[in-house]
Structure formats: structure tokens, C-alpha cells
Amino acid sequence: MTNDAAPRSSRPPQPRATIAALSEVTQRRRAWIGLALILLLGVIVYLPAIRTPFLLDDYLQASMVEGTFPGKRGPFDLYDFINDADRSALIERGMLPWWSHPELQIRFFRPLASALRYFEHQAFRGTPLLMHLHSFAWWAAMVLGARVIFRRALSARAAAIATAVFALAPAHAIPLAWLANREALLSLTFGIAALVAHARFREERRPRDAALATLLFTLALLSGEYAVCFGGYVLALEIVGKRESLLRRVGFVSTFVLPTAAYLYARHRGGYGSFGSGFYTDPFHETGSFLRAVPRRFFTLLADGWLALDDELLLPNTTSIVLPVLLAIGTAALLYVPLRRAYAAQDEARRPLVAWLLLGSVFALVPVLPVVPSPRVLGASLLGIAPAVGMLLEYAWFSAASDEDARRPRSAAVQLTGLAAVALGFAHLVHGPGTAWLLGRRQQRSADDFTKHSAELRGEIETPEDAQVVVIRCMASAFFLPFALDDHGRLPARWRILAQTGHALVLRRDARTLEVRVPPEHSLFPMGSGALFRSQDAPIAPGEVFQVPGIRVTVLDVGPHGPRAARFELDRDLDAPSLTWITESRGGFSFAELPPRGFGKPFDP
């Protein structure tokens, strides 16, 4: 026996290269497991949205595909809702109410998103679940693209946090639940991929990256106008990136500027845009109204994005500009020092990338200011907010600097950093996903109730050429009900809505005349920045008369919120067999019985 035998537990030393390779494999495996977990959480968080039946404009687009919409629409025109050519037809059939702006226009240039909806409806007719799974596939592709950007700008852990924040944000709930809003997911998916190619082109100067970025930006723009938001990141990169000559900068930004210029030209030549609506304020057609709305909308979106709020806390018609401004300024004050400390802790290579994304998130808000603020328009801005949140949470909770801070006396900056991390962590990792689930659940319940209530009326309301339906009072869903009464979207001959309000008193004056009155603090229909059919720049005066086929409307009284009383004179007796009277309440739609002549009757929501 020899005495130089090694102990059984000893092993030959592993080469450093082998250890590094094993460590890299382990990190990659963890990264992919983390990504799979985020995607799985996405299924759970957005499950109510995925299970939502048709909602709002989905019925209009289905009717367009079926060829039963009052105006002819092709595969690329499903977002052309109201235009000069068929506005009169929409008024004739009652798709537009009597109070609509006389020049109301709502047209969006989204040919790629439209074509996908058109052919999808042909393939999956009657199966909304398959259509929502299609939307979810775009969500997954969008998340993968965002992850690429985050991993370039942040450490692996911070990038994983940022990916979770971005993927599970309330911003994606409505685009997933509302098939007609899928253009937001398409624009983000192509726009993010284009941004990756654009950044690579600026860094490596390869023509193929420039061509790819230009192509992807073009696809993003053809999907929807939300793609213009990525111009904020292109601009931010030129501000914080390497200093270059003017000629080179022109070459860099051309990947975005050229397709955007072509898109805007095509949009202008085609007459796309909006006019006369309080919900959409086109900056080219309604510049004054747009500029007046900018401050409130900007601060509302800023607060919504950083605090992961829903679409009800800062409703445009219920709060003044004070609350959004206070929330935005308070959030900035809370986060300034913590974000600056976390930013200073990043290495030299990552700081410009973080600054680029953070600055771009602010610039990306500008193109979505024409529409009423909602989380659904915040997807592009979140591309810069999410990495800032990931950076701060990693710095406060996991970095060596935070361990050193824990051993030192707790200064105000350290305490503020910890407080900000807890606040942002709760907002984006707990409240955000919960809000996304609730938003999806709210849309699902609303759509389920509408489907149930419309099914109850099927067979009860006829849809031949001479059928005429008069809705005494309703909520917003009544404007889509006629498209849901038939599997192919065939409409009654006329659909008349007298009032979109809460409590209403109906007075029967004679055989053909009704008056509808609402409480002093209410209006017969919504007015203000969220009103779809008439902007607040087109007020209605007492005594003003509106003539639509079959009904003459005279406004009798106007309050601070809009018309409070109107007289409706029909072209036939109110008891004529061709007229069907219905009303809408929280319990659904029901047939309405008019009061006797000379009497009144209340109708409640």
C-alpha cells in the first residue's frame, strides 16, 4: 500500500473555462425559466380578457366584413367608421344619434390591422376565443421584443423585473379584450422590433439593419398611428447617444422619419383623421381643442403609467386637472433621488441606454395626447418606464450598494430609496397585474351581459326593411345593439336613440309628440372631452332644431352640462305598429310602455 492515495472525497479541479461555461448555461436556463413564468402569469392575468366575446366596435367590424354595414368597407377599411360619404346613411339608419356633430368624422389609417381583422373574421367566424388567442400571440411576441431591449440596457435581474412590469401592465388588458383595439399590440410588436434594429444600426452602421428598421417601422405604422410614439425613442437616442455629425444623424433618424412621412402623407391624401368628436381630438383638424386638452391628458397619462392606475381613477369628466398634476409631481418628487442613485450605480455602458429609454418614455406620450387618456395607450411609454422600475428595484433590494446602505446609519436618501422601491414594487408587481386582471374582467362581464341582453331581444325585434326601433334612454351599449340582433349584422330599417343618460322623465304631449327631461345636473347625452359624437366645442343652444328622418327634435332647455329637455315630434303616431319602443337599464334592454297622452312616466337606469 502507498501513502500518497488521495482521499475519496477529493475531485480533480475544474478548469475555470468550464466553470464559467456552466455558470453561463445556468444563467441562461434561469432566464428562460423566468421568461416562461412571466408568459404563464400573462395567461392568468389576461385570462378574462382572452375569454371576452365581441365588444363595442367588434360588432361594427363584423358587420363590415359581412357586408351589412350601412357603408361599403373593404379588407383595409375596417377602421373607417364615419366619413363624409356615408355619414348621411348612418344618420338615416340611426347609427349616429340626432345630436351628432354635423361634420363628425372618425377614420383611422390602419390597413394592416384591418386586413388581419378582416381575414381573421372570415376564418374564425363565430369563435371570438380564437381571435383573442391570435391577439395573445402578438402580446407574447411584443414581450419577447421588449425583453431584448431590457437585457441590452440592464443586468439580467433588472431586465427580468422590467419584463414582468411591462408584460403584466394594465395597458395591455383592453387591447387583449377588445379585438378592434388589437392595433395597439401590432404597433408595439413591430415598433419594438424596429427600435432594436434602429439602435443596432446606429451602433454598428450596417445598411441591412437600417433597411430592417425601416421595414419594421413601416409595418408598425401600417398597423396603427400608435407607432408614431416610437419617434420619441428615436429622438431620445439622438439626444443621449454618441455625438455624431449632422449628416450621420439625418441618416440614423431616416429609418423612422421616411416611413412616417410616407404614412402621414397617405393619411392626409386619404382624408383620415377625426373631427367633431370629444373622444378623439385631431391635432391637424382641431388644433385649438387639442392644445387645450394637452396639459390634463399629459399629466393623467404620466400618473397612470408610473403608478399603474386603471382607467377610472382619473376620469376626464369627473376630476379637474389638479389631481393628475399633483399625482404626477408627487411621484416625480418621490422618485427623483432614488432613480438618480440607482442610475449612478449603473456601469458606464448601461447609463446611456437607461437614459435613452427613460427620456423616450416621456416623448412617447405626445402622439397619444389626441385621445382621451386611458392605460390602453401607454404601451409605448411603458417601454421606458419598466426598465427604470427594474433598475430601481434591483438597486434597492439586491445590489451590493443596498447591503452597504443597510450597515450604515440610514440617511434620508437611503430611506427615500427604500420607500420608493416599496411603492413602485407594489404598484407594478402587485397592483398593476391585479388591475390588469380587473380591467379584463370588467370588459368580459360587460361583453357577456351585452351578449346575454341582445340574445334576449333576438326574435322579439324584427329586422326587415320596415322595422323601426326607438330607444327612449340608454347607455353606450345601445349604439352597438342593432349590429348584435342578427348573426350577420343585418340592421333594422331605423334605430333611433332619444337620450343617452341616467334618470329621464318622458311626457306624452299628443299623438305624435314626446318630451324627455333629465335632472338639472344632468344632460340628455354626454358632453365634454369624453363624448364620442359631439365635442364640447360645438355647444347646443335652447331652441335649436335637429331634423333626422322620421323625427324632428327641438331643444327646450340647456344647462351647464348640456341639453336638459327636448321635444321629439315623430312622422307617425307613437302607437303605430311599425314602431318598437325599448329602454335600457342595468338589468339589460326591455320593451317600454309609453305614458298616456297628457301624462308623464319616469325611466331609470
Report whether 254 contacts 506 (CB < 8 A).
no
Q: What pLDDT score was predicted for residue 266? A: 96
What's the rounded mean pLDDT across residues 65-78?
A: 93
Q: Of the given ranges (78-87, 379-388, 529-538), which has the lowest mean pLDDT?
A: 529-538
pLDDT at residue 339 above 50? yes
pTM of the model: 0.91
Q: pLDDT tens digits for 189-229?
A: 999 999 999 999 999 999 999 999 999 999 999 999 999 99
Q: Of the given ranges (255-269, 502-516, 522-536), which has the lowest mean pLDDT?
A: 522-536
pLDDT at residue 9 above 50? no
How do beta strands 513-517 and 562-570 pair? antiparallel
Q: Which residue spans within 276-316 are E strands per DSSP?
A: none
pLDDT over 90, % of the chain: 71
pLDDT at residue 414 above 80? yes
Q: What pLDDT score was predicted for residue 400? A: 62
The more confident residue out of 133 and 20 is 133
Q: What pLDDT score was predicted for residue 406? A: 55
Report whether 463 contacts 486 (CB < 8 A).
yes
Q: What pLDDT score was predicted for residue 600? A: 95
What's the rounded mean pLDDT across residues 345-364?
A: 96
What's the rounded mean pLDDT across residues 470-496?
A: 88
Region of 56 please: left (phi>0), alpha (psi -120 to 50) or beta: left
Q: What pLDDT score was predicted for residue 284? A: 84
What's the rounded mean pLDDT across residues 439-468?
A: 84
Q: How far apart are CA 572 and CA 1, in angstroms?
A: 119
Q: pLDDT tens digits for 86-129?
A: 999 999 988 999 999 999 999 999 999 999 999 999 999 879 99
Q: How far apart are CA 103 and CA 83, in angstroms?
A: 9
Mean pLDDT (the chain) is: 90
Q: What pLDDT score was predicted for residue 401? A: 59
Q: How far apart are CA 256 and CA 404, in angstroms?
A: 44
Region of 308 please: left (phi>0), alpha (psi -120 to 50) or beta: left
Report whether 183 contacts 110 (CB < 8 A).
yes
Q: How confident is the model at residue 23 (pLDDT cuts 50, 70, 90)?
A: low
- Parse the chain into domains and list their residue ranges: 19-50+108-445, 462-603
